[in-house]
Amino acid sequence: MPVFEYTALDIKGKTISGIINADSPRAARQKLRASRTFPVSIKEVHDTATIKTPRPFSTVGPFARVRPYEISIMTKQLATLVGAGLPLVSAIDALISQIRSQAFKKMLAKIKDSIVEGNTFAGSLALFPGTFSSLYVNMVKAGETSGALEIVLERLADITEKQQALKNRIRAAMAYPILMSLIGVLVLFLLLTFIVPNITSIFSDMNQTLPAPTLFLIKISDIFKTYWWLILIFMGGFLFALNSIRKTVKGGYFFDKIKLLFPRFGLLAKKIAVARFARTLGSLLENGVSMLPALEIVKNITDNKLIADAIEEASREVGKGQALGPALAKSKIFPDLSIQMIQVGEQSGKLEDMLNKIADIFENEVENSIMSMTSILEPVMILIMAVIVGFIVLSICLPIFEMSTLIR
């Protein structure tokens, strides 16, 4: 499709310029007038290489502090303004004054300036890859091409809200067990390092053979009392080493593989990845992105290298003419239910709807699984803490009971 450079007046009478795709100059003028932009001059660009491609901005510093919920709110507000007929630049300008985050304000100002300079909205968003994902950019690009930007923005807002809601539910469900674990470890560390040695020091003056549990407790407490700083350094170094290994290619692949092999937790991680895959792929296909580019995008959002490799291999098979369902089934990573539903969607011609149903099903299963796991974890953690504290109390009380028996 030909590309045209234009100079026009917006609804406020401000001169703007940019580029637009259209079949002819007349179609370009009609497209601009439909967006309430009044063209002054239009000329075709024969060499697309002359179109300016701005360099990405660094997301280090203040631009790195934009939160997902801020993007979701901005997207929904922008969809409302654009749907009401406000030009894109004017809509972004209106949003800038309403946003509290200074970092986000600066970012949107740069995006607006980039659009005014003649770049597309998707290209301007791509300047901030640390904030706007490839999914976001490609869906906006599809919306601009199809002329349904407000619909795409509404869907993007819904996707962002659903993903954020799922993350919040997972965090809320896991917050109590993690907090209890940290408190329990801290209490045991303080007991063994500072309290137990003071109590067991009484037994050192006794000319009495101590029970085995008491001797074991004294040995453990002596180690903690003498080398507590070394234990803390070792734990910190161990966590740092694990994190460094995880960031490497082989290390990341190994940890992702272990993550999927864990009982219950592996199945949970797989369901989360499949739900994210289905939701994103369905939205991309609904908005006009073809299958192969859509698969290239979604493989980067699964947060698991094994699943990403399975999607990449499936993409190659789809490129050779195979259907998506059988191509994904070869990896034996995706659950059977998701494969069957994808095959039904392909056969019925309603793959997008089926992908959204898959996402709904697995998101509900993830939430139910987390609730059941946390309900089991809480009593198990209490039981473990009770056993450890009971052992400490018993180890201290046994010599006292023996002393009272000798006195009698």
Distance CA 250, CA 376 (A): 34
Tokens read off for 68: 């997902």
**Could you read off the pLDDT of 331-354 as tens digits, one per residue?**
888 888 889 999 999 888 888 889
pLDDT band at 57 (very low <50, low <70, confident <90, very high): low
The pLDDT of residue 12? 66
Q: What is the dihedral of CA 259, 265, 266, 272, to 10 degrees?
A: -100
Tokens read off for 237: 């170094």
213, 394 contact by CB (below 8 A): yes
The pLDDT of residue 204? 67
Neighbour tally for 34: CB within 10 Å: 10
**Could you read off the pLDDT of 285-344 as tens digits, one per residue?**
887 778 888 888 787 777 778 888 888 898 898 888 888 888 888 888 888 888 999 999
Which residues, including other chains, have CB under 8 Å from residue 339's CB and lie 6 or more apart?
325, 328, 329
117, 52 contact by CB (below 8 A): yes
Question: Which of helix, strand or coil describes residue 304?
Answer: coil
Residue type, 54: P
Distance CA 357, CA 278 (A): 8
The pLDDT of residue 52? 45
Half-sphere exposure of 264 (CA within 13 A, CB side): 9
Question: Which of helix, strand or coil describes residue 106?
Answer: helix
399, 210 contact by CB (below 8 A): yes
Distance of CA 208 to the CA centre of its chain: 60
Sign of the CA dihedral running 173, 176, 179, 181 = negative
pLDDT for 47 beyond 80: no
Query: Average pLDDT for residues 366-376, to the nearest whole number?
Result: 80
261, 338 contact by CB (below 8 A): no
**Could you read off the pLDDT of 97-146 as tens digits, one per residue?**
788 778 888 888 888 888 888 888 888 888 887 788 777 887 787 777 76
| pTM score | 0.60
